[in-house]
């Protein structure tokens, strides 16, 4: 009570509420058409049920930047079980902090309850928040978010943005600013360091000095994060549509030498390979381009490219040790598989795709007999062929071989036979079996004639 009375009569820092800004449509410029139908429906239904509800976070940030949001999140003062009652197609998930997934048509909207700071969250010995189901007001929720650009609340009905931490100004200045003390916020959730690199790299933001400074001394916390959560954040970075810029931003922030995750380590180490024209850089540039053009990408293919330099080196080492190409590659792939299964968090469906792509690479050298047709019939042929093109582009596979397979796919049956005949006239590739001569089958003699010969042989034997 004394503290509250002193704050009333003594000058001091302005209260957080004095920072609150409510921006009308004329000041922020967001069009209502930019809000997805599903998000607008969720907000509207919560309003009808008597609750506060806002579109929040990255979607509002992207709309201010003129970027079409990939997904929409909603924040409300309704508790998870209350949200669940409002929406039949919904489910409560999460242990650390419960959220509700609301399904509207084919779209899923993530609904979170305003977080508060009244009840201390359960933390581990390193300061990381382990459980945080404490609820509060919108202002308290804004203070608990990571960066100012993500602490914006948009009301579709009134078309207003509520901003507690000058997030709109920071977005316009292309500045990434942590809310609160950055060191404490990284200790609460170390993944925020990767998020800082991803957001600044993807959006072209400058990380504020106070936000960047503690990263180097907090990096040791990242490998201690739950494996699934860390892998998920690595995937968000690699498939952000700006993976190359995000990796460069990691180096700028002093995260380049940290053993955060083997996938990131390999990507960071191999990105400059061949003056930026190595297979890792080519694959990530191509992935960024496809994502910007809203085209599909294969996770297994991209991960296969990121880890290929390690597989390739072990493959070459095995051949130098006397193994033939296929056994040497199988050993290299087996070694990589063993390492991935020791705690990389790579789902089996991606790991299996990577192994198949790698193991099919030597098969492209064999262009004789029925082998090309068998390879063409492989379910993973297209991904393996694209990988061959990538290797050729990086200068580590024969471009003539890649061109041959490009033509072979497009050719009709007669032309394919001619291409194989031409290939058979060239020297065989290592591992290619020489063309076998067709044996002529001896015609069987009639049964009566065979019986006569047998009887003759028996008479000769008895005479002797």
Q: pTM score > 0.85 for this model?
A: no
User: DSSP secondary-structure letter at 242?
Assistant: -
Minimal CA–CA distance to 226: which of 96, 92, 58, 340?
96
The two beta strands, 175-176 and 206-207, are parallel
Number of other CB atoms surrounding residue 315 within 10 Å: 24
CA distance 221 to 246: 20
d(C-alpha 56, C-alpha 258), whole Å? 32
Catalytic residue, from 73, 163, 245, 288: name it: 73
146 noted as active-site residue: yes
CA distance 30 to 166: 17
Asked if the model's pLDDT at residue 267 lies above 50, the reply is yes
Q: How confident is the model at residue 208 (pLDDT cuts 50, 70, 90)?
A: very high
Residue with tokens 């590659």, as numbered in its chain? 329
Please check whether residue 335 is in contact with residue 314, taking contact to mean a CB–CB distance below 8 angstroms. yes
pLDDT value, residue 13: 37
First to last CA, the chain: 131
The answer to whether 306 and 266 have CB atoms below 8 angstroms apart is yes
CA distance 450 to 163: 102
- For residues 222 and 260, is the Cβ–Cβ distance under 8 A? yes
| Tokens describing residue 4 | 């509250």
Per residue in 31-46, pLDDT (tens digit) is: 999 999 999 999 999 9
Residue 281 pLDDT exceeds 50: yes
108 contacts 42 by C-beta, under 8 angstroms = no
Average pLDDT score over the chain: 87
Q: Give me 272's structure tokens.
A: 């400059």
- Asked whether residue 271 carries a pLDDT value surpassing 60, the answer given is yes
Q: Considering the candidates 146, 163, 189, 288, report the single residue annotated as catalytic.
A: 146
In sequence order, the β-bridge partners of residue 160 are 155
Number of residues in the chain: 464
Angle at 415 between CA 411 and CA 419, to 5 degrees: 100
Neighbours of 69 (CB within 10 A): 19
pLDDT recorded at residue 125 = 54
Active site (annotated) includes residue 403: no
Residue 18 in this model has a pLDDT that exceeds 60 = no
For the chain, what is the radius of gyration of the CA atoms? 32
More confident residue, 444 or 285: 285
DSSP characters for 106-147? TEEEEEEEPB-SSSPPEE-TTS-EEE---B--HHHHHHHSSB
Q: Is 312:268 a contact under the CB 8 Å cutoff?
A: no
Dig out the tokens for 250 from the structure.
Answer: 């990691």
């Amino acid at each position: 009570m004394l503290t509250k009375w002193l704050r009333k009569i003594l000058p001091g820092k302005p209260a957080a509420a004095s920072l609150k800004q409510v921006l009308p449509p004329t000041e922020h410029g967001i069009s209502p058409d930019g809000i997805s139908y599903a998000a607008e429906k969720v907000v509207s239904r919560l309003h009808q049920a008597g609750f506060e509800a806002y579109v929040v976070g990255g979607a509002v940030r992207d709309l201010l930047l003129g970027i079409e949001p990939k997904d929409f999140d909603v924040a409300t003062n309704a508790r998870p079980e209350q949200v669940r009652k409002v929406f039949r197609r919904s489910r409560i998930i999460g242990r650390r902090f419960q959220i509700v997934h609301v399904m509207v048509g084919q779209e899923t909207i993530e609904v979170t309850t305003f977080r508060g700071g009244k009840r201390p969250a359960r933390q581990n010995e390193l300061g990381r928040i382990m459980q945080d189901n404490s609820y509060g007001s919108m202002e308290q929720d804004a203070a608990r978010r990571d960066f100012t650009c993500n602490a914006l609340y948009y009301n579709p009905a009134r078309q207003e943005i509520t901003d507690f931490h000058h997030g709109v100004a920071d977005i316009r200045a292309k500045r990434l600013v942590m809310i609160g003390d950055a060191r404490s916020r990284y200790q609460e959730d170390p993944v925020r360091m990767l998020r800082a690199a991803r957001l600044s790299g993807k959006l072209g933001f400058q990380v504020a000095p106070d936000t960047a400074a503690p990263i180097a001394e907090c990096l040791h916390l990242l490998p201690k994060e739950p494996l699934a959560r860390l892998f998920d954040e690595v995937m968000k970075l690699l498939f952000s549509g700006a993976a190359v810029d995000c990796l460069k931003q990691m180096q700028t922030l002093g995260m380049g030498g940290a053993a955060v995750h083997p996938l990131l380590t390999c990507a960071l180490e191999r990105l400059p390979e061949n003056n930026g024209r190595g297979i890792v850089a080519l694959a990530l540039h191509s992935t960024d381009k496809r994502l910007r053009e809203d085209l599909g990408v294969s996770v297994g293919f991209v991960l296969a490219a990121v880890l290929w330099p390690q597989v390739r080196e072990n493959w070459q080492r095995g051949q130098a040790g006397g193994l033939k190409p296929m056994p040497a590659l199988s050993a290299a792939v087996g070694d990589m598989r063993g390492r991935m299964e020791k705690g990389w968090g790579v789902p089996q469906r991606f790991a299996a795709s990577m192994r198949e792509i790698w193991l099919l690479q030597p098969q492209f050298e064999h262009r004789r007999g029925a082998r090309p047709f068998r390879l063409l019939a492989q379910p993973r042929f297209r991904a393996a062929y694209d990988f061959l093109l990538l290797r050729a582009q990086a200068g580590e596979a024969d471009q003539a071989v890649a061109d041959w397979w490009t033509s072979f796919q497009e050719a009709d049956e007669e032309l394919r036979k001619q291409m194989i005949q031409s290939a058979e006239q060239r020297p065989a590739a290592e591992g290619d079996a020489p063309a076998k001569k067709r044996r002529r089958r001896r015609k069987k003699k009639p049964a009566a004639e065979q019986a006569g010969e047998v009887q003759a042989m028996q008479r000769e034997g008895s005479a002797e």
